[in-house]
Amino acid sequence: MPTISSHLEDPVKVNHALTSQSSKERIEWAVEHFGDKLVLTTSFGIQSAVMLHLATQVKADIPVIFIDTGYLFPQTYVFAEALTQRLNLNLRVYQPLMTPARQEALFGKRWEGDKEALTQYGIMNKVEPMNRALQEVGATAWLTGLRREQGSTRSDLEIVEKQNKTYKIYPIIDWNNRDIYQYLTQNELPYHPLWEEGYVSIGDWHSSSKLMPGMTEEETRFGGVKRECGLHELSGQADWQI
């Protein structure tokens, strides 16, 4: 693997160098540069087994952060348990500070509201728990399985970006659906159980729908109002200043 600067002052050079690397080599680079400050996040979604397997092949004990909103499909919890046992994941589960029942009593079903209501829902149920997780684990960088092919909000992402004070690395950013299928098949890994029922993207049960004729993948989330829950919303160019 070619030497890539250990410093991140020049994002163009870092991303250019990583472009020609394999996904495993990108993870190895992240482990080398961030060490114990590196985490992996997972939603235990449709294709999550790919990143979980890839990352743990490089660093078996990498902390795996899982945000449990309390609104996940029952199948997701079963899937999460099966993969945790099979891959011996160092799983760290984080939940919102307020229970679903309390939220609904005070704010109603925010997922049925407008874009602002969805934003507030995402902050309370996903962004705040994730920020708390990163702080408690002491992470400065995290691996995640976003891919450019998944939607317009991800089409221009680089391999390494920075969101606030945290570096984000997308090792499979340039993979397509065929790459995913081949990796899962070759390593005898499963899709999420709801894949067989027509789901291509899985999150909370109330904001995930099956892919119907004429729909894009991003339209299967939040009724097409928005693609991101807040965890991966970058405004403008990535900020590389710590």
Residue 74: CATH number of its domain? 3.40.50.620
Structurally, the chain folds into a number of domains equal to: 1
Q: Is the residue at 5 inside a domain?
A: no
Is the per-residue pLDDT at 147 higher than 70?
yes
Is the per-residue pLDDT at 76 higher than 80?
yes
Q: According to the model, what pLDDT value does residue 5 have?
A: 53
Contact status, residue 152 vs residue 228, Cβ threshold 8 Å: no
Q: Is the residue at 237 inside a domain?
A: no
CA distances from 113 to 118, 216, 222, 225 (A): 7, 22, 10, 10
pTM over 0.95? The answer is: no
Q: Catalytic residue, from 72, 169, 229, 231: name it.
A: 229
Q: Is the residue at 230 inside a domain?
A: no
Q: Is the residue at 3 inside a domain?
A: no
pLDDT bin (cut points 50, 70, 90) of residue 237 is very low
Tell me the helices (H) and strands (E) count for the chain, helix number first. 8, 6
Residue 229 falls in the annotated catalytic set: yes
Average pLDDT, integer, range 102-128: 94
pLDDT bin (cut points 50, 70, 90) of residue 194 is very high
Q: Is the residue at 234 inside a domain?
A: no
**Residue 120 sits in which domain range?**
11-224
Q: Is the residue at 236 inside a domain?
A: no
Report CA torsion sign: 172, 232, 106, 97: positive
Q: Is the residue at 241 inside a domain?
A: no
Q: Is the residue at 92 inside a domain?
A: yes
